[in-house]
């Protein structure tokens, strides 16, 4: 795995008033949105956008989503989220996430997501990687 290319991006964001509870702490449900924003930014950078995949005839539902809260995000903070693609042999898209406080460098939250491929017409799970996904991995030098 040491020769494997790492595909990752870091995206800054702001904690908005609408995302916090009465204590000024980000409500847990917003972390899923932060992770989604990171996936969209990753897709834009690495040509793995949802609309492109849909155009190829696939949905990519999330089947696993985890968060590990280390420290709370507070209203007014300007953290950043890093998303890293995790290669695997299965017909899945796996990402790891890390949210850091940009002022201190502290890790605030880590997480993980798994998406599978579903045929957009039949809504059936696809058990082998679609051709476009295998081509995408080859284009980016993913060694699996």
The 3 state secondary structure assigned to the chain is CCCCCCCEEEEECCCCHHHECCCCEECCCHHHHHHHHHHHHHHHHHCCCHHHHHHCCEECCEEEEEEEECCCCECCCCCEEEEEEECCCCCEEEEEEEEECCCCCCEEEEEEEEEEEEECCCCCEECCCCHHHHHHHHHCCCCC
pTM of the model: 0.93
Q: What does the pLDDT average to over 99-128?
A: 97
Q: What does the pLDDT average to over 33-46?
A: 97
Q: What does the pLDDT average to over 18-35?
A: 96
pLDDT of residue 103: 96
CATH code for 8-139? 3.10.129.10
Q: Which two tokens stand for residue 42?
A: 């990753």
pLDDT of residue 26: 97
Please list the alpha-helical segments (H only) found in the chain: 30-46, 50-55, 131-139
The C-alpha atoms of residue 67 and residue 69 are separated, in whole angstroms, by 6
pLDDT tens across 56-73, in order?
999 999 999 999 999 999
pLDDT of residue 1: 44
Spell out the domain ranges in the chain. 8-139
- pLDDT above 50 (res 100): yes
């Amino acid at each position: 795995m040491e020769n494997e290319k790492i595909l990752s991006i870091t995206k800054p964001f702001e904690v908005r008033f609408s995302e916090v509870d009465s204590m000024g702490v980000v409500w847990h449900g917003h972390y899923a949105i932060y992770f989604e924003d990171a996936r969209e930014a990753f897709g834009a950078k690495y040509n793995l956008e949802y609309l492109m995949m849909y155009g190829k005839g696939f949905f990519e539902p999330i089947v696993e989503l985890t968060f590990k809260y280390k420290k709370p995000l507070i209203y007014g903070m300007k953290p950043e989220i890093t998303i890293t693609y995790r290669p695997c042999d299965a017909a899945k898209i796996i990402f790891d996430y890390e949210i850091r406080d940009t002022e201190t460098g502290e890790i605030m939250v880590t997480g993980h997501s798994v998406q599978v491929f579903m045929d957009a017409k039949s809504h059936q799970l696809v058990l082998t990687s679609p051709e476009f996904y295998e081509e995408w991995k080859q284009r980016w030098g993913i060694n699996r």
